[in-house]
Amino acid sequence: MHTDKYRKETQSIRNQTPRSDQREHATPIYMTSSFVFDSAEHARALFANEQEGNVYSRYSNPSCDEFVQKIVALEGCEDGISTSSGMAGVFVSMAGILEQGDHILVSRSLFGSTHQILTGIFPKWGISHTYVDIDRPQDWEAAITSKTRMIFVETPSNPGLDIIDLEWLGELARKHQLILNVDNCFATPVLQNPADYGADLLVHSATKYIDGQGRAIGGVIAGKSRYIDELRFFARHSGPAMSPFNAWVFSKSLETLQVRMEKHCQNAAELTERLQNVAGITNVKYPFHPDHPQYDLARKQMRAGGGIVTITLEHGFEQASRFIDSLKMISISANLGDTRTIATHPASTTHSKLTEEERLKVGITPGLVRISVGLEHPDDIEQDIRQAVKQSQS
């Protein structure tokens, strides 16, 4: 059941696979690898694309379709596909379109595995890239060549929380007829919709805020139909399909995404204020704090500052390690976007495959700790951080 007449928040709750004759309220999980045909002729017609319908869950599945249609509504896009992980989404969104000889322009602040695709996999297939810095917009146009087909960015970036001007980027992509592809994982569709600025494709790791409770791995790509059609062909035959069970988890989670994001943002903004001037922390970074270098831009294109705060410990790696080891409640994990607050040391984990020089260029210093602020009481989050900072100084 599609409910286009409602606002997108309502659609993310009410868009549901048609109710069966069992009269269930919550949507069932279509945990099936294949679908039966009414007849030999029905099977032939489905395979010949003369009729629409489910054939095999690597191609399509009602649980996955329900999840995708909610994301498409929330992002204001034309179409989408789900993938087995966020990285499968990132990979498919590039590899499904780019050809040998193509070039991709990329913002330097990127998730570690995306960097690995660009530097460790694509060169084998003759796809090249150029990294550009967000604080040097003049470099972007100069880096575009006759081979450039796509621009890929993360905003806010993981873990540096750099913000890229989507309006400016949309215009640049249009001017040079490039495909603009945005990893919208940190903002979620609740805080930012890249399609409003002309993004052709956007990618999410559903593993993060979309699940929101640290249970399942998944990804989703949304965007313009002409590109999604190409990616659907690529994904159907190369096979990074989302499990129907995970799609069901994500679809149910989308019903609460709006309220969870409001509280994540509220807790993160509160924590940012409370951690100012704590001895041992030299920097607290948050997109909606006036000290953030792109504060005005963040306020222009995001509805709130998100759930991630970074802190920098004064004495680098040693202190960051002691800080993490001293945490009592906050989880030490590489995930983010969970109801439970998580601390991650990017330089030694998620971004450890980058060289030190590459890390420093995107602000990943040895003392940087990423805090994915959860939904616990802000007093408890603050107290745990304060006591761990204190311990880390001794």
Can you give the binding site for ligand PLP, defined by CB under 6 A? Answer: 85-87, 90, 111, 113, 154, 158, 183, 185-186, 205, 207, 217, 219
| Nearest distance in Å: CB 206, ligand PLP | 7
User: Which residues, at least 6 apart from 346, have a Cβ–Cβ distance to it below 8 Å?
Assistant: 159, 359, 364, 368, 370
Joined tokens for residue 139: 């470099």
Q: Put the strands of the sheet holding 331-332 in their side by side order.
A: 281-285, 308-313, 368-372, 342-344, 331-332
Residue 246 CB, nearest approach to ligand PLP (Å): 10
Closest CB to ligand PLP: residue number: 86
DSSP state of 34: B
Residue 66, amino acid: E
**Which residues are bridge partners to 103 per DSSP?**
128, 148
Report in angstroms how near the CB of residue 156 gets to ligand PLP at its nearest.
Answer: 9
Q: How far is the CB of 308 from ligand PLP (least distance, A)?
A: 10
Nearer to ligand PLP, 104 or 185 (CB): 185
Quick check: 3 and 11 in contact, CB under 8 A?
A: yes
**Which CB atom, from 185 or from 347, has the smaller least distance to ligand PLP?**
185
Got the DSSP string for 247-268?
Answer: HHHHHHHHTTHHHHHHHHHHHH
The answer to whether the beta carbons of residues 93 and 186 sit under 8 Å apart is no
Q: How far is the CB of 221 from ligand PLP (least distance, A)?
A: 12
Q: Whole-number minimum distance, CB 166 to ligand PLP, in Å?
A: 15
Q: Which is nearer to ligand PLP, 176 or 340 (CB)?
A: 340
Please give the Cα distance from 337 to 344 (Å, whole number). 12
Q: At what angle do helices 225-238 and 86-95 cross, to 10 degrees?
A: 110
CA distance 269 to 4: 33
Q: How far is the CB of 113 from ligand PLP (least distance, A)?
A: 6
Locate tokens 């450890």: which residue? 352
C-alpha–C-alpha distance, residues 260 and 189, integer Å? 12
The Cα–Cα gap between 264 and 376 comes to: 9
Which residue from 136, 117, 12, 142 is spatially nearest to 74, judged by alpha carbons? 12
3-class secondary structure, 40: helix
Q: How many Å apart are CA 100 and CA 102, to the nearest integer?
A: 6
Nearest to 318 by CA among 343, 277, 347, 341: 347
Residue 60 CB, shortest distance to ligand PLP, in Å, is 21
Question: For ligand PLP, which is the closer residue by CB, 87 or 281?
Answer: 87
Cβ closest to ligand PLP, residue 66 vs residue 211: 211
The residue (of 77 and 87) whose beta carbon lies closer to ligand PLP is 87
Using the minimum distance from each CB to ligand PLP, give the nearer residue, 121 or 279.
121
Interatomic CA distance for residues 161 and 55, integer angstroms: 42
Give least dist CB 162 to ligand PLP, A: 12
